[in-house]
Amino acid sequence: MQRRTFIGGSAAILAGPLCFADAIAEQPTKLPVIGFLGSGSPGSNAPLLAAFRQGLSETGWVEGQNLAIEQRWAEGRYDRLPILAAEFVDRRADVIAASSIPSARAAKSVTPSIPIVFVSGGDPAELGLVASLARPGGNLTGVSILAAELTPKRLELLSDLVPQAGVIALLVNPNNPQSEGVIRDMQEAARVKGLQLHILKAGIEGEIDAAFASLVQQHAGGLVVEADPFFTARSEQVVALASGYAVPAIYTRREFTDSGGLISYGTSLTGAFRQAGIYAGKILNGAKPADLPVQQPTIFELVVNLKTAKALGLTVPPSILARADEVIE
């Protein structure tokens, strides 16, 4: 009896570890998580998220296979960003991807350790996101798309389109920390060209209509729209208002010209988000944000909508048509 008990007990002991190992093998492996923190809305940013995924795939990371991507969108309400970013900290995300300066600032405010990859519309060093472009330091790096720095260039292009206009308006989002710098740059550019500049502000839905209504009172002959996710998420509304008030307007992204806007000039955002995806993949592969220099764009897109120009009674100068990357007819 004792011998049989001993054998049975040994068998149970041997079987135990095997069952435990089988149970471990059956448990799903936890995938690395990237938290994508967007300032705008998912619909208008779908092409950018696709470009981000493409960059990840180039470094060996594919959503649903060896990676999970969780998204949070502020829908233009920047005050929500710190709360949304904190959710990724609680989730213990491996990387946070920030789609804008407000998103990057929010992410930085809630974590000093989780790597953050941003797409920045201004100089991230001047904005305090990184120590320098070449040596970011800390836990942030990414791509600077020079959206704010290109604003004076947009004023120049608009002035070439409507040379008779002596008054130009600038539409900004007062909730965007970049707006003050954009206003200063535009005021200087307008002074150099001898133009009068009016500042229009819209940070919530109803203020966009009111801003356009004031264009008539100010006799503005043209409009520059600031690079801001709030306006991009409402590109169709902005373009429709510009058409309704018959004001020539220049935008930052081709989504506006695709929707009927007159002209757009800016960095290839899909290229910027693809690069951000590559950086996120490199970090998942072991690279440190501090060792990855902030990338700057080399490709800028100029898109002109001739159909809209005709509706406004404008003749697009040959110099602009010759430089355009795409002409919509």
Q: Is the pLDDT of residue 146 over 80?
A: no
Q: Tell me, what CATH number does 228's domain have?
A: 3.40.50.2300
- For residue 180, give every residue at least 6 positions away whose Cβ sits within 8 Å of its Cβ, in sequence order, or none: none
Same domain, 199 and 109: no
Whether residue 323 sits in one domain with residue 222: yes
Is residue 4 a part of any domain in this protein?
A: no
pLDDT tens-place string over residues 195-235: 999 999 999 888 999 999 998 888 899 999 998 888 888 88
Q: Are residues 161 and 126 in the same domain?
A: no
What average pLDDT does range 132-140 have in this prediction? 95
206-231 per-residue burial string, b: 16 or more CB within 10 A, e: under 16: ebbeebbeebeeeebbbbbbbbbbbb
Does 26 reside within a domain? no
Domain assignment present for residue 6? The answer is no
Q: Does 44 reside within a domain?
A: yes
What domain range is 258 assigned to? 151-267+301-328
Task: Provide the strand spans (E) within 39-144.
Answer: 68-73, 95-98, 116-120, 140-144
Asked if residue 123 is part of any domain, the answer here is: yes
Q: Are residues 108 and 227 in the same domain?
A: no
Residue 46: HSE in the Cβ half-sphere, 13 Å Cα cutoff: 2
Residues 33-69 have pLDDT tens digits of 999 999 988 987 899 999 999 999 999 999 999 999 9
In the structure, what pLDDT confidence band is assigned to residue 12 with cuts at 50, 70 and 90? Answer: very low
The pLDDT tens digits of the residues spanning 228-267 come to 888 888 889 999 999 999 999 999 888 899 999 999 998 8
Read off the pLDDT of residues 66-116 as tens digits, 9 standing for 90 and up: 999 999 999 888 999 999 999 999 999 999 999 998 999 999 999 999 999
Q: Is residue 8 part of a domain?
A: no
Shared domain for 236 and 175, answered yes or no, is: yes
Question: Are both 316 and 290 inside the same structural domain?
Answer: no
Q: Do 176 and 249 have their domain in common?
A: yes
Q: What is the tally of structural domains in the chain? A: 2
Q: Are residue 187 and residue 308 in the same domain, yes or no?
A: yes
Indicate if 166 and 248 belong to the same structural domain.
yes
Instruction: Classify residue 81: in a domain, yes or no.
Output: yes
**Is the model's pLDDT at 309 over the cut of 60?**
yes
The model's pTM is: 0.76
What pLDDT score does 277 carry? 98
Q: Do 246 and 272 lie in a common domain?
A: no
Name the phi and psi angles at 254, rounded to 5: -70, -15
Write the burial class of residue 328 (CB in 10 Å: 0-12 exposed, 13-18 middle, 19+ buried).
Answer: middle
Residues 188 and 323 in one domain: yes
Residues 207 and 280 grouped into a single domain: no
